Amino acid sequence: MDSSHGKKRMNVEDDNDRLSSLQDELIHKILSFIGIKHAIQTSVLSSRWRFIWTSMPYLNFSWDDFYRLPKFSEFVTHVLSGRDTQTELSSVKLSNFHGKDSDVIAEQIMKYAFSHNIQQLDVACLPQNDVEFPPFLLSSRSLKHLSVTKENFVSYQRRRSCSYVFNATSTWELPVLTTLYLDGVTLCCDDNTDKCIDFFSKCANLKNLTLKSCYTKGFKGLSICLPLLCNLTLEDVCGGSVNVFNIVAPQLKNLNIRGVFTQDHQYLISAPNLAFLLYEGLENLSLSTPGFLSLEKADICVSYPHDAHQVLRLLQLLHNVKSLTLNLEIVEVIGSVYVMHLTMIFSLRNILITALLFHLLSSSVELMSYQPSPFFNLKSLKIHAVTEFSHYSGKMSAEVKSYLLDSSTGANLIMVPREVSYFIMNYIINFHTVHTSYLFLDVMKTIMASN
């Protein structure tokens, strides 16, 4: 018995010694995955571990680790005062901050991070009142990644909560920032101007920008003029005053626009190197551009298109696309066919196309008859039904087919019947399992093989 117990104890000590023999940088990286509270608890393991947390360049604070605010506040003060002041901070993450004074504690941590040359900051916080985002962070010379989000909170918390406010009068000078993710924040201008406001003009190295569920106040237009921007996502930026988006991004490759209420929005886009465009909305996309000369893929889904001329103008702007996906809601009146459908994205080898809008193309057969097919480079066209109420029979009128494909005779056309699309979508919604994902892939392979 004693011998067995001794061997077990030796094994534990040997394992501990192996960990202790690692370099500090490796131990810091390991501890960064468990949060600062649990990282500090490892100090009891041995003298080697007693102070190792004090030089960690990663800090992860979670509100969920504490039941009462005073305890959490006391813990934060203990951590910040106990750290090695000579150690700079690489990353700080604030998780699930909510309730009274949550923004006060968050600002205490952010101020400390700013003074220690923070590089990556992730903030998930629901302030009790609308509060200005700490302006000192918007002049950081070291910050490369900034994320401010409400994504980790349930919907009722998001609805009841206030938000961080970013004011146009604040000095946005983040010269090394490459990634900015703003979710559920307010962008405001106290001047109540009709002009376009550019919050990000002094973020010259910004490459990835996401604006999601943002509320705008006091200005009519939002400018995004960034020389190095590669990826831009605008999702449900629908609340408030803004109705014009002016985008000038010569290096932009991927543009995603999603929104429930986009009917009053205008998108003025100069992006000559754009390779992928995704649009999902209830209304038509009002787009103005000198052209997308490098467009490889476009995925367009409009649930309720109302203007046939606007739909045709959009298609003409996509004339260089090689892979196109459309939902059937655009062809409303091709003969007696009225189509309503849902969009899905399917991958055809290395070509991606989703069905477009067949709601109004039918009512504009006469319009199309006077225009040649705009698509000269099209390799793949994918069309699928969107809703269970679609009357789509799985056939396309000769006029619409001619308009879409006559200039690209070698293009591969895939049409997915409404019943198949709805079955697959409904199955995925009801069964979120790995098995379902594999079933979906098998079904899609069968569909593509049959075409």
Residue 166, CA atoms < 13 Å, CB-side half-sphere: 21
Low-confidence ranges of the chain (pLDDT < 70): 1-17, 151-161, 238-239, 261-263, 330-370, 385-396, 417-451
Helix (H) or strand (E) holding 401: helix 398-405
Helix (H) or strand (E) holding 25: helix 24-31
pLDDT at 395: 61
CA of 215: how far to CAs of 130, 190, 241, 398, in Å? 12, 14, 8, 45
pLDDT at 43: 80
Average pLDDT, the chain: 78
Q: Which residues pair with 115 in a beta bridge?
A: none
Instruction: Give the residue among 95, 94, 130, 92 at the shortest CA–CA distance from 113.
Output: 92
The pTM (predicted TM-score) of the whole model is: 0.81
Longest dimension (CA), the chain: 95
Instruction: Report how far Cα 2 is from the mean position of its chain's Cα atoms.
Output: 59
The residue type found at 105 is I
pLDDT at 339: 33
Residue 7: partners with Cβ closer than 8 Å, 6 or more residues away? none
pLDDT at 344: 34
Residue 300, CA atoms < 13 Å, CB-side half-sphere: 27
pLDDT at 440: 47
Q: pLDDT (tens digit, 9 = 90+) per residue, 247-270?
A: 999 999 999 999 876 667 899 999
Instruction: Give the residue among 331, 303, 298 at the shortest CA–CA distance from 314.
Output: 298
Rg (CA), the chain: 27
pLDDT at 311: 80
